[in-house]
Amino acid sequence: MSVEPTTKPAAAAGTVDLGDLTVNRMGFGAMRITGTGTWGEPADREEAMRVLRRALELGVNLIDTANSYGPEVSENLIAETLHPYPEELVIATKGGLTRPGPGEWRRDTRPEALREALEGSLRRLRLERIDVYQLHTVDPTVPYEESLGALAELQHEGKIRHIGVSNVDARQLAQARSVVDVVSVQNRYNLGDRYSEGVIEVCEREGLAFLPWFPLNVGALASAGGKLAEIAASHGATEAQVALAWLLRRSPVMAPIPGTSSVEHLEEDVGAAALELTDAEFADLSHTSAAQL
């Protein structure tokens, strides 16, 4: 769908708080502005840069990235394209996963590794402080409190404004909150994968933002004649837009961060912020299994 540059459709979804920061609930995940398998440079670097610029034109003011995306490629491209950053733009990045090679992801949340990761992100993003720095994973070889304590120390040094966690269950979230002030949780969540329902309930109760990664699993959900396709057709929308609209309706603390390397797909995703599902449609999707969607 085409959206005129003067409009700000991302704002139609409302806002969510990240500590003392307020962002539009429709964000952008910058994992896919890298090469195949989140490795190396994007196939079309100029298009990736257009995506970033267009995201801001559409009212997106939360960009989520990580040092492991590329690795380093995503952060470098964000800075090259958008620095100096608009005052309202919040950049959230992550540390705790390393990339030994294409298709490989390795956990490393040792305090010294996290410090090195943060310093690298600051340098690549051309920032003196990261707005939201997220612990990317739980590393079974490192006590969780030690990893979080390292972030607390970096926050005390003024290099981190707010701390978020990722890929946690409710118990781990409680553990994290006993060590640091957590403002956000980033877990996998979409119409077909609702494992994190309990974590979302905690976020709602405690006023934490929930950033669902992989918010679109449309390839698996949009079966011909399925409920998702039926609702999309009734709105003149795409299955992806309906899936995102469902997420936005699911919880007021939800801030989806769909990612793409295409301006066309970006405009489609952000356009979902203006799509309003009826109560019946939301209930149908909420109570329909992934196999029936």
pLDDT in the model for residue 217 = 78
- Beta strand pairing call for 21-24 and 90-95: unpaired
Q: Closest Cα partner for 290 from 148, 177, 193, 198? A: 193
Query: ω before 215 within 30° of 0 (cis)?
Result: no
Residue 8 lies in a domain: no
C-alpha dihedral (45, 50, 55, 59), degrees to nearest 10: 160
Please check whether residue 142 lies inside any domain of the structure.
yes
Phi, psi of 111 (to 5 degrees): -50, -45
Is 72 within a domain? yes
CB under 8 Å to 143, separation ≥6 — which residues? Answer: none
Report pLDDT for 222.
Answer: 56
Distance in angstroms (rounded) separating the CA atoms of residues 175 and 183: 14
Over residues 194-250, the pLDDT tens digits come to 999 999 999 999 999 999 999 987 555 556 568 899 999 999 999 999 999 999 999
**Region 59-81 average pLDDT:** 98
* Of 122, 48, 46, 125, nearest in space to 83 by CA: 125
Which CATH number does the domain housing residue 212 bear? 3.20.20.100
Helices (H), 106-165: 111-125, 144-156
Active site residues: 69
Residue 196 belongs to a domain:
yes
Whether 16 is covered by a domain: the verdict is no
| Within a domain: 88 | yes
Structural domain boundaries, residue 44: 23-217+253-260
Say yes or no to pLDDT of 7 above 80. Answer: no
Q: Is the confidence at residue 100, as pLDDT, over 70?
A: yes
Q: How far is CA 67 from CA 25, 164, 263, in A?
A: 23, 15, 23
- Report the alpha-carbon angle 31-88-77, nearest 5: 30
In a domain, 114, yes or no: yes
Adjacent-strand bridge partners of 91: 63
pLDDT for 2 equals 46
SS3 state of residue 267: helix
Number of domains in the chain: 1
Whether residue 293 lies inside any domain: the answer is no
